[in-house]
Amino acid sequence: MNTLSSIDYVIFVLYFIMVASYGYYVYRKRKTQEHDSKAFFLAEGSLTWWAIGASLIASNISAEQFIGMSGEGFFVGTAVAAYEWIAAIALIIIAIWFMPVYLKNHIYTMPQFLKTRYNDTVALIMAIFWLFLYILVNLTSILYLGATAITGLVGDATAGTPEFQNILHLIMIGLAVFALVITLGGMKVIGYTDVIQVAVLIIGGLATTYLALTVVAENFGLGKSALAGFKALMNDSPEHFKMILPKPASTTSTINDAHNLDIQKYVVLPGIAMYFAGQWIVNLNYWGCNQYITQRALGADLKTARTGLIFAGMLKLMMPVIVMLPGIAAYVLHKHNALPNFNGVKDGAYSAVLGFLPTGLKGLSIAALTAAIVASLAGKLNSISTIFTLDIYKKYFGKEADEKKLVIFGRYTVLAAIILAILFTWNDLLGIGGEGGFTFIQKYTGFISPGVFAMFLLGMFWKRTTGTAAIVGVVLGFVLAIFFNNYAVGLFGKDTLMYTAYTYQKMEKGQLLTITEIPFLINMGWSFVITVAAMVGISLAGPKVNPKAFIHDKSMLKLEPRTIALIVITLMLLTALYVKFW
C-alpha cells in the first residue's frame, strides 16, 4: 500500500529542486573552470573545512548505513557502532599523519601515490582493483539497498511481486539520474551540494529516530517521551546495548538453537578480538587510502584539510543515533508484535520504522535517505571517473588529450559506470539481499583492504619498502583474504591458535544453509599481518633507503591549538560512549 501523501511528495520535490538549483548555481560560478580537469575531478583549493567535513559524511553515510547499519542494529545492537566510532579516531590519525604525506608530495589520486612511491605496475594493478570494487561492490549495493528501502515506502505492491520489482527498477533509475545531475557538474558541485545533503540527512535522520523512540514509549505505556522510549529499549533488550559481544562456544549450531543466533552475531562483530584485527584496517584503509574519501581533502591546504577531517570525525560520533537506533527500536517493536507488516528481515528494519512517521515527516525522511544515497553515488562516480580518466585513459590511451577532452571523457566514464551498476543490480545479480547490505560491503571490501593498507602504510612511513614488495603485498593480501575465507578451515580445522571458525545455519531465499566460517574481521587481521611480514622481508633485500621514498616535513606534523582542542573533545566523547556501553 502506498503510505505517502501529497505533502510528502511536495517536500521531496522541493528537496530535489533545492539541491539541483544550488548545484547549478555552483556550476555556473565555476563556469570559467568548466574544462579544467583538476577543478572537475578535485575542486582544487576551493572547498572550505566545513564543506570538506560535510562532504565526507554525506558521501560516507548512504544506504549502507541507513539500511545496512540499521539492519545490523536490529540484529546485533550497538556493537555495530564500532564502525562509526572507531572511524572518528581513524580520521584523527589520517589528519595528523597521512594528510601531510599526501600534500607534501602533491598527491591527487591514490594510483598517483602508488606510481610516485612505487612504480607504474603497482599503480595500474590497484587502479583496476579499485574500479572493480567501486562499481561491483559499492555502487551496486548503494543502488540496491536505497531503491529497496524507498520502494517499500512508496510502492503499491508486496516485496517479491512483479509490481514491486517494476517500482524498484524505476526508483533505481531515478536515483541514478539524480546522482548523474550532481556528478556531471564536477567535484566542486558535489562538495557544496553535499552540505545541503548532510543537513537534510541529519535533520531527517534525527526526526526518524525521535519518532521511533516515541513510538516505543507509547507501546510501553510511557507517553510520548523519546527519552522514555530510549530507556525502554535499554531495559527491554540490554543485550542490544553492549559494544563487546561475548565469544560463543564453537560447537556446531542448528537454526532452532538459540546459540545459533549468538554465533551469527559474533561472526559479523567478533567481540574484543575485532579491535586487534580488522576494525582498524577497515577504518584506516577506508578513510586514508580511498580515492572516494581522500579526494575531498587532497585539493585543500593542510590546515583546511586537517580541520575538515577532524570535523567529520566529530560528526561520525552522532551517526549511530541516526542510523543504528531506529534498527534497535524496530527490534523491540517487532519483538512485541508492534510491527505487523514487518517480516523480520534485518535490511527492512529502517523502512518499517519509517512507516510510523506522520504526514510530512515521511517526505522529509525519504529526502534524507535519498540525500544519503545520491551523495554517496555522486562521490563514488566522481572517484571512478577520476581514477579511470587520469590514471588509465590519460596515461595509456589519451596522452595528447587536452583539458577539455579529459573532462568530457570523465563525464562519459560517469555515465558508463552507473549503467554497469544498474545492470548488475537489476535483479540482485550479486546476492546483496542474501548477505545483508552492510555485511556485503564490509566483507568484499575486506578482500583487498589488508594488502592495500599494508602497501600504503609501509610506503608512507618506511623508506626501505620496495616496488616489488608492494606488488607482492597487494596480490598476497588478496590471496590470503580468499584463503582464510574459503580454504583455511578445510586445511587447518575449526580451532587453531590463529582463529576459531563457527558453524551455524540460516535461511536464504527459502533455502536452509549450513555455513562454517571465520569472522571476516579476523581474516582481515591475519591477512594484513602476514602481508606486512612478507613485504618487510622482501624490502630488507633491497637498498636501505628506496630512491622513491617520500619526503617528510616534520614541521607539517605540528598541530594548531584549535586542532588539538577538537581532537581532545572527540576523544573525551568517545571515551564516555565506550564507558557507558562497554
pLDDT tens readout for residues 548-579: 888 888 888 888 888 899 999 999 999 999 99
The torsion angles phi and psi of 516, rounded to 5 degrees, stand at -120, 120
Residue 184 placed within a domain: yes
pLDDT tens-digit series, residues 477-535: 999 999 998 899 989 988 898 998 988 887 766 678 788 888 888 999 999 999 999 99
What is the spatial distance between Cα 7 and Cα 12, in angstroms, rounded to a whole number?
A: 9
HSE, CB side, 13 Å, CA atoms: give it for residue 162.
Answer: 0
Residue 291 lies in a domain: yes
Cβ atoms of residues 410 and 40 within 8 Å: yes
H helices present in 324-348, as ranges:
325-335
- Who's near 120: CB < 8 A, 6+ residues apart? 395
Alpha carbons 138 and 529: distance in angstroms, whole number:
26
Domain assignment of residue 11, yes or no = no
Residue 194 has a pLDDT of 63
- CATH number for the domain spanning 156: value is 1.20.1730.10
| Distance of alpha carbon 156 from alpha carbon 152, whole angstroms | 8
Asked if residue 495 is part of any domain, the answer here is: yes
pLDDT at 538: 95
A 10 A CB-CB count for 557 gives 10
Per the CB < 8 A criterion, the answer to whether 200 and 363 are in contact is: no
Residue (of 362, 344, 349, 411) closest to 384 by Cα position: 411
Does the residue 110 lie in any domain? yes
Whole-number Å distance between alpha carbons of 262 and 449: 27
pLDDT digits (tens, 9 = 90+) for 376-394: 787 788 888 888 887 888 8
Identify whether 488 is part of a domain. yes
Q: Show the low-confidence residues of the chain (pLDDT under 70).
A: 1-4, 22-24, 26-27, 29-47, 59, 62-64, 152-161, 164, 182-197, 291-292, 295-296, 299, 430-439, 508-510
12 found inside a domain? no
Hey, what's the cell of 156? Answer: 503499491
State the CB neighbour count (10 A cutoff) for residue 348: 22
Bridge partners (DSSP) listed for residue 517: 502
Q: Which run of H or E residues covers position 249?
A: none
CA distance 477 to 526: 9
Asked if residue 186 is part of any domain, the answer here is: yes
- Grid coordinates of 234: 535499554
Q: What is the pLDDT of residue 14?
A: 83
Residue 60: what pLDDT?
75
Domain enclosing residue 514, as ranges: 47-242+250-581
Number of domains the chain is built from: 1
Name the pTM for this structure.
0.81
Cα gap 144→172, rounded to integer Å: 7
* C-alpha triplet 409, 301, 554: angle, nearest 5°: 125
